[in-house]
Amino acid sequence: MSRSRSITAKLINISRQQNVPFDRIMISFLLERAVARLLSDKELKEQLCFKGGYVAVRVYGSNRFTKDVDALIMHANKDEVIEKIKRAMDFDLEDSVWFKYHDQSSICGQTKEGGIRFQYRSGLGKPTRPPTSGR
């Protein structure tokens, strides 16, 4: 059995045991793997301060479901950190998980400086191609 199939089987078992929809278990797993990539960069580890729903779930055991990871950039150049984030997300941790950069947009109103939303496609196993429009 391939590693990705083994992981999927384990996630299905967790879904059944916890009576939680599989897609929620998969999203939580992928978020964890995204954070692992960000923390694998020593500089990013010092420059990002995680916050929001992901921290509530992972640190405080909240039952809240979250689909994203929020972080503040601490004492660093924003443009340099953005590039480090993109490189970290491309890094292969040999965990059968992949992330492909899709888009980024500005988030206004949450802080004085605003923020950036990164969007990634992700999955287990071999990366899939994004759907083509018009077909």
Write the pLDDT tens digit of every residue in 5-22: 999 999 999 999 999 999
Task: Supply the range of the domain harboring residue 34.
Answer: 3-124
- Give the count of alpha carbons within 13 A of 104, CB side only: 10
How many Å apart are CA 76 and CA 99, to the nearest integer?
Answer: 24
Number of domains in the chain: 1
Q: Is residue 129 part of a domain?
A: no
Instruction: Kindly report the pTM of this predicted structure.
Output: 0.86
Q: Is residue 65 part of a domain?
A: yes
Joined together, the tokens standing for residue 18 give: 């916890």
Task: List the chain residues with pLDDT less than 70.
Answer: 1, 109-113, 128-135
Write out the H or E segment, with its range, that includes residue 102: strand 97-107
Q: Is residue 131 part of a domain?
A: no
Q: Is residue 133 part of a domain?
A: no
Q: Is residue 135 part of a domain?
A: no
How many Å apart are CA 109 and CA 130, to the nearest integer?
Answer: 31
Q: Is residue 113 part of a domain?
A: yes
Q: Is residue 77 part of a domain?
A: yes
Q: Is residue 55 part of a domain?
A: yes
